[in-house]
Amino acid sequence: MRVAVLGATGQLGTDLAAHFAASGDEVARLGHDAVRVEDAASVRDALAAARPEVVVNTAAFHPLGRCEEEPERAFAVNALGARHVARACRELGARQVFVSTDYVFDGRAGRAYSEEDTPRPISVYGASKLAGEHLALAEAAAPAWVIRVSAIYGRVPSRAKGDNFLTMILRRAREQPEVRVVDDEIVSPTPTAEIARALRELLLADRPGLYHLACEGSCSWHELTQVLFELRGIDTPLRAARTSDFPGPNLRPAHSALESRRYREVCGHALPHWRDALAAHLASGALAEAPPRGAAG
């Protein structure tokens, strides 16, 4: 396949591009310097030059608070950007994938969401990504996929956050006398490498549409931290906190774990459990630059 990855310098984009290339695909890595998704001409020109058969759009404006403050920008990038990409794909006859989020849900169901559940975003970010999903599918001519992911972590940090959850927590464990993490927000932590593998499988299966791609099981951020500390042998005290302990509006869904039901149906197997995926991520040396407390001497 000839694949173009938009947002190729990002956490997910980096691992997607690496996995496609390692699988023998020809990959055009298009970072923000090459494409501004909110600019239709920039999208059209970059994709026309790359002539991809598949375009994966991971580009996003996703800091939650900034999306509330700059809703025009959030919708320009996350919603209209998706439309520009879909239109360029239509001109090229390329298949497209739009990467979306668990934040399209309000989190009030108290269980994991499947593809059949009705989205109800509670933030500008979630609303702009949901609009992006609709526009990506509405403008598509060739087959199109929307994949929703949750609580991702990769080999490189999130460009927008400068960290991912694991690297942020490991840094705090080194620098602070104790670590406090919320236990009332439930997610499906998933390594970007697993998403890359699963997405390529889906493309080969050729059954377009909406998919959740998240590891099996779910946990609170506190439980994720507990398991991370166990696996890394970290003894920094870990305390449970509530989201209400922190100031400001809560824009995060309380329970936004994703059930990857359609992936299981189409591919005949599940993604790994989040605990196994976390252990494999650590075993791969992906966090080698973040030594356990005391180990740096």
Ligand X SMILES: NC(=O)c1ccc[n+]([C@@H]2O[C@H](COP(=O)([O-])OP(=O)(O)OC[C@H]3O[C@@H](n4cnc5c(N)ncnc54)[C@H](OP(=O)(O)O)[C@@H]3O)[C@@H](O)[C@H]2O)c1
Q: Which residues bind ligand X (CB under 6 A)?
A: 7, 9-13, 31-32, 35-38, 58-62, 77, 99, 101-102, 129, 149-152, 158-160
Please state, in angstroms and rounded to a whole number, the distance separating the CA atoms of residues 294 and 101. Answer: 36
CA dihedral 153, 83, 81, 160 (to 10 degrees): -10
Residues facing residue 182 across a β-bridge: 241
Active-site residue, 113 included: no
Region label for 153, one of left (φ > 0), alpha (ψ between -120 and 50) or beta (otherwise): beta
Burial 69-102 (b: 16+ CB within 10 A, else e): eeeeebbbbbbbbbbbbbbbbeebebbbbbbbbb
Nearer to ligand X, 61 or 263 (CB): 61
Residue 167 or 236 with smaller CB distance to ligand X: 167
Query: Would you say 63 or 292 has its CB closer to ligand X?
Result: 63
End-to-end alpha carbon distance in the chain = 47
Minimum gap (Å) between residue 74 Cβ and ligand X = 10
Q: Output the residue with the shortest Cβ distance to ligand X.
A: 10
90 closest CA partner among 142, 137, 54, 47: 142
Output the smallest distance, CB 206 to ligand X, in A. 23
At closest approach, how far in Å is the CB of 288 from ligand X?
A: 20
The CB-of-153 to ligand X minimum distance in angstroms stands at 7
Which CB sits closer to ligand X, 130 or 290?
130
Find tokens 């979630």 and name the residue: 126
What does the CA dihedral 158, 90, 139, 209 come to, rounded to 10 degrees?
Answer: -70
CB of 295 to ligand X, least distance (A): 27
User: 118 CB contacts (<8 Å, ≥6 apart)?
Assistant: none
Measured distance CA(97)–CA(53) in Å, rounded: 11
Catalytic residue among 103, 113, 125, 153: 125
> Of the two residues 94 and 187, which places its CB atom closer to ligand X in the complex?
187
Catalytic residues: 125
